[in-house]
Amino acid sequence: MPEAQFSDYNPRDYPAVAVTVDMAVFTIRDSALRVLLVERGEEPFKGAWALPGGFVRPDEDLDAAAARELKEETGVTRRDAFLEQLGSYGSPRRDPRMRVITVAYWAVCPALARPTGGGDATRAELVLVSRVEDRSIDLAFDHNEILGDALERLRSKLEYTALGARFCPPTFTISELRRVYEAVWNTTLDPGNFQRNVRRSGSFEQARSGHALTGRRVGRPASVWSTRGRLSSPGRPLATRHRSRGEDRG
Amino acid sequence: MPEAQFSDYNPRDYPAVAVTVDMAVFTIRDSALRVLLVERGEEPFKGAWALPGGFVRPDEDLDAAAARELKEETGVTRRDAFLEQLGSYGSPRRDPRMRVITVAYWAVCPALARPTGGGDATRAELVLVSRVEDRSIDLAFDHNEILGDALERLRSKLEYTALGARFCPPTFTISELRRVYEAVWNTTLDPGNFQRNVRRSGSFEQARSGHALTGRRVGRPASVWSTRGRLSSPGRPLATRHRSRGEDRG
DNA sequence: CACACTTATTGTCAGTTTGTCAATAACGTG
DNA sequence: CACGTTATTGACAAACTGACAATAAGTGTG
């Protein structure tokens, strides 16, 4: 039945459906990957952690709704973060109150100072992703699944795009970028090989002046880099995720 | 604002929103990539081609809605096709009648005989993708955009997964599989290299008996293969899309 | 000051992969 | 039989990859 069959569709004949956006907002602090969570203030799941989100307004499109919520929750605007749709979740019973379909997004921000927590007094925190992954924290609704999918998307995109740079400030050292990969993938990468790939990729350009000064304690001063072009376009990997033999299209 | 703020939400206070699924169903016939389109029977866009789709029912989740529509439009069940969510489209004015958010899906079927065209008399056709790409055919609503995104997804996934086999019957020759890649990417691939990658991938197994008999006219008889494992898991490419230097994360 | 340690950068090397092309195998047709 | 066609296997040079070494450029300590 094509989308055209409105001749017999009356919205009042069906239970209402609400559409929301939910967001997995990732950042890195203290070399650890974190996700922004908010505490639920009412039932269902009162007191539990959840992904931030909200209703899509009647006059805004989905991306705009997500960008608005991102701004409200983090103070970060869309131009300073990576934001992309992840997918929609519409199990009939994901919310016991009514039919709610959520369009999930994921975002990457440079280190957030402190979550602003939205307009009300809701409690928000940058929670270690490892704590959600090891089930120390269980999320409300189907947010465990959404976060799991967002993590897999992030980890996958990290390999094929230069998106990792969105965790960094506008200028950064190659080691800082490498440490993004190490935090997200929970692994270590060879500094020499990584730098070779960064230099070869064409997605980064070296600053003409000077070396990194910020945060340096000891060791050789590093050169400073910035990004060039569209970071989400596929290209050659800067690094590859380790896969055991059995995982090869297993 | 978290998803929790239902304390002041009344669905009747807002314009109703309908949620639909739309599908880009791909198949290959006569060595050419085709997409299933239906002709609209009423305004808006009366007479125009559109992607098949329909309303999500109150008691079904999104995947089930898509699978149901796929069955209605093609007669193909979910277990015989690849079906995956592509993303949601929710521009406020995508449909002039009311607020409609669509969750787009894409599917891959072995050669469809003839589209069943759904329950009513709507006209359906397997249209050459090239005709939509070269703008010989313009689609209704935002379906041009949806189809473009689905195509890009298909072309990208073809590289990193063994999904191309879903265009083939349960058993196939390596050349048949290679011709899938050639049709989707609109290119030619080296037979020797392709076979080397198929053999090496671990995603395919050779039939123990015999060689291809069907459709062979001339030339050496080919061995017959089938798939093994999950075709959508990422692995080593069977082939790579040609990219000019300028497209490398340009 | 010398030295140890740390971090950044460049290089080496053996093994693997990739794309182009050749050689051989197995069929059908005239 | 020769030839054309399609399938399969192989050769080869260039490029890539991961592990590790060597050198560079700092800081801190005795």
Look up residue B68 and give its two tokens. Answer: 């149901």
Contact A85 B89 (CB under 8 A): no
DSSP E strand stretches across chain A: 17-29, 32-39, 49-50, 53-55, 82-89, 99-108, 124-128, 204-211, 223-227
Half-sphere exposure of A207 (CA within 13 A, CB side): 14
Number of domains in chain A: 2
pLDDT mean across residues, chain B:
86
**Is residue A249 scored above 60 in pLDDT?**
no
Average pLDDT over residues A207-223: 72
CB-based contact (8 Å) between A99 and chain B? yes
Residues B170 and B125 in one domain: no
pLDDT of residue A123: 87
pLDDT of residue B249: 36
Instruction: Tell me: pLDDT of A18 over 80.
Output: yes
Q: Give the gap in angstroms from C-alpha B219 to the nearest C-alpha of chain A.
A: 32
Nearest CA-CA distance, residue B223 and chain A, Å: 22
Residue finishing a domain among A124, A158, A192: A158
For B229 and D28, how far is CA from C1' in angstroms?
Answer: 57
Closest CA to B24 of B3, B45, B48, B53: B53
Range of weakest confidence among A3-17, A52-66, A156-170, B188-202: A3-17
Same domain? B107 vs B194? no
Q: Report yes or no: B58 at the A interface, CB cutoff 8 Å.
A: yes
CA B30 centroid distance within chain: 17
If asked whether residues B194 and B126 sit together in one domain, one would say: no
Q: How many Cβ pairs within 8 Å bridge chains A and B?
A: 188
Among A140, A158, A176, give the residue marking a domain's end.
A158
CB contact under 8 A, B38 and A2: yes
Is residue B8 a part of any domain in this protein?
no
Which residues make Cβ contacts (< 8 Å) with residue B26, sequence separation at least 6?
Answer: B33, B34, B35, B106, B107, B108, B109, B129, B150, B154, B167
Q: What is the mean pLDDT of residues A235-246?
A: 67
Q: Is residue B1 part of a domain?
A: no
A60 class by beta-carbon count within 10 Å (0-12 exposed, 13-18 middle, 19+ buried): middle
Indicate the DSSP class of residue B32. E
* A4 has pLDDT over 60: no
Residue A214 pLDDT level (bands cut at 50, 70, 90):
low
Q: Flag whether A110 is in a domain.
A: yes
Question: CATH number of the domain that A183 lies in?
Answer: 1.10.10.10
Question: For D8, which residue's CA is nearest its C1'?
Answer: B192
For A109-132, what is the mean pLDDT? 77
User: Of A123, A118, A120, A147, which Cα lies nearest the Cα of A26?
Assistant: A147
Do A38 and A148 reside in the same domain of the chain?
A: yes
**Least confidently predicted of A123-127, A182-186, B95-99, B246-250:** B246-250
Query: Under an 8 A CB cutoff, do A58 and B248 touch?
Result: no
B20 falls within a domain: yes
Locate the chain B residue with the closest alpha carbon to A56.
Answer: B90
Q: What is the pLDDT of residues B45-76, one digit of tens each?
A: 999 999 999 999 989 999 999 999 999 999 99
Min Cα separation A215/chain B (Å): 30
The band of A244, judged by pLDDT with boundaries at 50, 70 and 90, is very low
Q: How far apart are CA A174 and CA B199, in angstroms?
A: 38
Which CATH number is A67's domain given? Answer: 3.90.79.10
pLDDT at A216: 55
- What's the domain range around B33? 16-158
Helices assigned H by DSSP within A109-208: 129-133, 143-160, 174-185, 191-201
Nearest to A97 among B6, B90, B120 (CB): B6
Q: Are residues A148 and A226 in the same domain?
A: no
* pLDDT band at residue A245 using 50, 70 and 90 as cut-offs: very low
B174: nearest nucleotide, CA–C1' criterion: D7
Q: Which of B105, B138, B158 is the last residue of a domain?
A: B158
C1’ D4 / CA B221, Å:
15
Same domain, A224 and A116: no
Q: Does residue A140 sit in the same domain as residue A172?
A: no
The answer to whether the CB atoms of B2 and A233 lie below 8 A apart is no
Note whether A204 and A220 are same-domain residues.
Answer: yes
Task: Report the gap between the CA of B191 and the closest CA in chain A (Å).
Answer: 22
| pLDDT tens string A25-59 | 999 998 899 999 999 988 889 999 999 999 999 89
Model confidence over A128-187: pLDDT tens digits?
A: 999 999 999 999 999 999 999 999 999 999 998 999 999 999 999 999 999 999 999 999
Partner A contacted by B55 (CB < 8 A)? yes
- Within a domain: residue B4? no
Judged against a pLDDT cut of 80, whether residue A113 lies above it is answered with no
- Is the pLDDT confidence value at B12 over 70? no
Q: Do B3 and A50 touch (CB under 8 A)?
A: yes
Q: Is the pLDDT of residue A250 over 50?
A: no
Work out the pLDDT band at B123, boundaries 50, 70, 90.
Answer: confident
Domain co-membership, A188 together with A131: no
Tell me the range of A93-102, A115-124, A232-241, B226-235 where mean pLDDT is highest: A93-102
Q: Is residue B114 part of a domain?
A: yes
For the residues A201-210, what does the mean pLDDT come to?
84
Phi, psi of A229 (to 5 degrees): 90, -165
**Do the chains contact at B101 and A99, CB–CB below 8 Å?**
no
Same domain, B147 and B165: no
Cβ of residue B12 closer than 8 Å to a chain A Cβ? yes
Calpha distance A241→A164 (Å, rounded): 14
Q: Which of B75, B27, B74 is nearest to B52 (CA)?
A: B74
Confirm or reject contact between B234 and chain A (CB < 8 A): yes
pLDDT tens track for B133-157 = 999 999 999 999 999 999 999 999 9
Q: Which residues of A touch B125 (CB under 8 A)?
A: none
Whether residue A2 is contained in a domain is answered as no
State whether B173 and B197 are in the same domain. yes
Please indicate, yes or no, if residue A25 is contained in any of the structural domains.
Answer: yes
How far is residue A49's CA from residue A127's CA, in Å, rounded to a whole number? 10
Q: Is residue B24 located within the same domain as residue B137? A: yes
